[in-house]
Amino acid sequence: MKAAVLYTPQSNLMVEHVRLIDPQPHEVLVRLQATGICHSDVMVIQGTSTVPMPVVLGHEGAGIVEAVGEDVTQVTVGDHVILSWAPYCGECFYCKSDHLNLCEAYAPRVLDGVLLDGTTRLRSSAGEEIKHYSFLSTFAEMTVVPETCCIPIDRDMPFAPASLVGCAVTTGIGAVRNTARVQPGSSVAVVGVGGVGLNIIQGARIAGAERIFAVEINPAKEQQARAFGATHFIDPLAAEDLIRSETGGLGADYAFESAGRKQTMEFAYQLARRGGTVVFVGVAESTSMVSLSATQLTRSEKHILGSFYGGAKPSRDFPAILELYRQGRIKLDELIGARYTLDNINEAVAAMRTGRYARVVIEL
């Protein structure tokens, strides 16, 4: 099959022939139909996030089940699926307490770029090992993934918008519905209006938030932020004053961070009112540390919540999100700024890096 391989950071992806080893027990071979390019993929290409290489990136995909390994029970050949990047073992403390996104089997394997059994299915044409990315490696015509990554969907659901449910949409909407449980009538600040931030905004809108403040350095994001439900669009320099004046001097009931930076995490903490809720959604560089006022941490009684993959349970949340889409309550197609083919993936990455688009999608 053809796949886009990254050999070193800050270089082009090489679209070349790659060998895929058959799915092992509890694994599934998926013929990919569409994949989004997420900020996290771009960070690896830029070198701001490091993973084992060579690697096939991509973790926001949808496709059709082509073959299944032994003992697979969750899908059958021909099923249309959205891929979740968080497989789970079903046996650890977190799986048993229904926190699938915190499964203990996940972290060590994802860092090593391998599947759950510690090995890889990707080989170069010379037979050398190629690493997986987030278990999915969707910048390819096909992929082998753990079966718990495969969430079946209706066959009439178009693949391009479906693919985005695999990362940005679930991360954003899940942060609102699962992690923060935003209440109707509340005020919500969202720092960073990218693919994830727009989904926090539309999640807050359907949760019945009354005021939604989009805080963003790039003025070009205003129209889209408003279309997704923002009632205010504010430059960070003006945000604190404006949010206070619009909330009777208090600050926002909820402040979400979706830019993935230390500074924006600290800023989101500032924007929440005393007793309010701060939700960290973006994933910052692993070396950075946040600095918050030690007195205020206690005195202001703000609730600080981390939200990883929107606190999602994909088998429950993906279908629920698709139902909201079907009812016209959330936008998915509007997230797609441009479409490319696998052969043109480097142009697609460059387009993502301009900051102009919430998402670009590769159609496979």
Distance between CA atoms of 192 and 205, rounded to whole angstroms?
Answer: 16
# residues near ligand APR by CB under 6 A: 27
Query: What does 258 interact with, of Zn ion, ligand APR, none (CB < 5 to 8 A by kind)?
Result: ligand APR
**Residue listed under structure tokens 């905004």:** 201
335 part of the interface to ligand APR, by CB under 6 A: no
Q: How many residues bind Zn ion (CB under 5 A)?
A: 8
Q: Phi, psi at residue 42, to the nearest 5°? A: -65, -40
What are the tokens at 245? 């004046």
Q: Which of 46, 52, 28 is nearest to 128 (CA)?
A: 52
Mark the segment that binds Zn ion (CB under 5 A) among 74-82, 84-92, 204-212, 267-275: 84-92
- Residue 359 C-beta: closest distance to Zn ion, Å: 10
Q: SS3 of 326, please?
A: helix
Sole window of 91-99, 123-131, 271-279, 328-336 interacting with Zn ion (rule: CB under 5 A) = 91-99
- Position 282 contacts ligand APR (CB under 6 A): yes
Residues 115-154, one symbol each (x = binds Zn ion by CB under 5 A, - = not), give ----------------------------------------
23 makes contact, choosing from ligand APR, Zn ion, none, with CB < 5 to 8 Å by partner type, with none
3-state helix, strand, coil in the chain (%, to 5): 35, 25, 40
Which residue of 263, 300, 344, 346 would you call a contact of ligand APR, by CB under 6 A? 263
User: Which of residues 95, 160, 212, 271 is near Zn ion by CB under 5 A?
Assistant: 95
The only residue of 6, 20, 39, 86 in contact with ligand APR, by rule CB under 6 A: 39
Looking at beta carbons, which pairs linking 88-91 to residues 24 or more positions away fall under 8 Å? 88/148, 89/116, 90/148
Under the binding rule (CB under 6 A), the answer on residue 119 touching ligand APR is no
Q: How far apart are CA 195 and CA 357, in angstroms?
A: 8
Backbone angles phi, psi at 209, to 5 degrees: -60, 140
Q: Return the one option of Zn ion, ligand APR, none that residue 196 interacts with (CB less than 5 to 8 A, by type).
A: ligand APR
- Select from 92-100, 156-164, 173-181, 258-266 the region that touches ligand APR (CB under 6 A): 258-266
Angle, to 10 degrees, between the axis of helix 262-271 and the axis of helix 236-246? 20
Given Zn ion, ligand APR, none, residue 191, with its beta carbon under 5 to 8 Å by kind, binds ligand APR
- Look up residue 239 and give its amino acid: A
CA distances from 36 to 39, 70, 152, 354 (A): 10, 29, 18, 16
Looking at 192, 229, 276, 311, which residue binds ligand APR (CB under 6 A)?
192
Nearest-5° angle of CA 176, CA 181, CA 185?
90
Please give the residue ranges that form the binding site for ligand APR (CB under 6 A). Answer: 38-40, 168, 171, 191-197, 215-218, 221, 236, 258-261, 263-264, 282-283, 355
Please give the residue ranges that form the binding site for Zn ion (CB under 5 A). Answer: 38, 40, 88-89, 92, 95, 103, 167
